[in-house]
Amino acid sequence: MAPAFYRPRMDWHDWHRVYDDPDSVHARRLLTVRARIGEVLDAAPPGTVRVVSVCAGQGHDLLGVLAAHPRRADVRARLVERDPRNAAAARATVAGLGLGERVEVVTGDAALVRNYADVAPAALVLLCGVLGNVADEGMEDAVDRVSRLCAPGGTLVWTRNRKEPDRVPRVCAWLEARGFTRDSLSPPDVRQAVAAHRRTGPAAPLPPPDAPMFDFVGYDVLAEREGRDG
């Protein structure tokens, strides 16, 4: 019989059903992420706005904004997602919105910098639904490396659950020690925090092209490990 802590591995396509209930914490998080994306696009100087989405899923955040944003024609985006079903769903949305080649969906490993070639460093980097799936010991490196995809003046929009021990303050501190300024952060009672940090310091070199920036373990696997070890 399966031990009590056992849960089957997450199906990251089915995971997107969290958005079906408009009152869910994830649906509310999505609205906040979209608001932050909209603000970045509103404030972007004229010309091309480069965007990367790390572990993009079905692209509900960025594509939801691009559906109607006046700067949509200026956006050049790369969405990187490992699950081919999610990538296909994102591509279908891109086609449906008439975004053509401005938004490219790569089915691949979002941890590899080479998958962002020609787009990074970007004016907007989305790291949503990722940090809660990275083990504590790898989180600072993940933040350090992914933040390097962000150009000077660019914004990193990121999310992290507030489950105890709350790691959001640490992530803020890591970014702020690396030349980022906090533009916004959800209040502490919001279970799925959304933050926007802008690189106000100098550029940082991109991580090496083939060394993984992070290890997406999965929150289900992390919880399983905690049950076993703790």
Ligand X SMILES: C[S@@+](CC[C@H](N)C(=O)[O-])C[C@H]1O[C@@H](n2cnc3c(N)ncnc32)[C@H](O)[C@@H]1O
Residues 128, 157, 168, 171: which binds ligand X (CB under 6 A)? 128
- Residue 89 neighbours by CB distance under 10 Å: 20
Residues 37, 81, 131, 149: which binds ligand X (CB under 6 A)? 81
Residues 86, 93, 155, 192: which binds ligand X (CB under 6 A)? 86
Q: Which residue is nearest to ligand X (CB)?
A: 57
Using CB atoms within 10 A of its CB, is residue 164 exposed (0-12), middle (13-18) or buried (19+)? Answer: exposed
Q: Is residue 56 at the binding interface for ligand X, with CB under 6 A as the rule?
A: yes
Contact window for ligand X (CB under 6 A) among 103-111, 135-143, 165-173, 176-184? 103-111
Q: Is residue 158 at the binding interface for ligand X, with CB under 6 A as the rule?
A: no
Q: Is residue 60 at the binding interface for ligand X, with CB under 6 A as the rule?
A: yes
| HSE toward the beta carbon, residue 225, CA cutoff 13 A | 10
What is the C-alpha to C-alpha distance for residues 207 and 222, in angstroms, rounded to an integer? Answer: 26
Helix (H, G, I), strand (E, B) or coil at 213: coil
Residues 63, 110, 131, 194: which binds ligand X (CB under 6 A)? 110
121 prior amide bond cis, ω within 30: yes
Using CB atoms within 10 A of its CB, is residue 17 exposed (0-12), middle (13-18) or buried (19+)? Answer: exposed
Contact window for ligand X (CB under 6 A) among 81-89, 141-149, 171-179, 199-207? 81-89
| Of residues 80 and 123, the one with the C-beta less far from ligand X | 80
Whether the CB-CB separation of 57 and 81 falls below 8 Å is answered with yes
Positions in the binding site for ligand X (CB under 6 A): 12, 15, 55-57, 60-61, 80-83, 86, 109-111, 128-129, 216
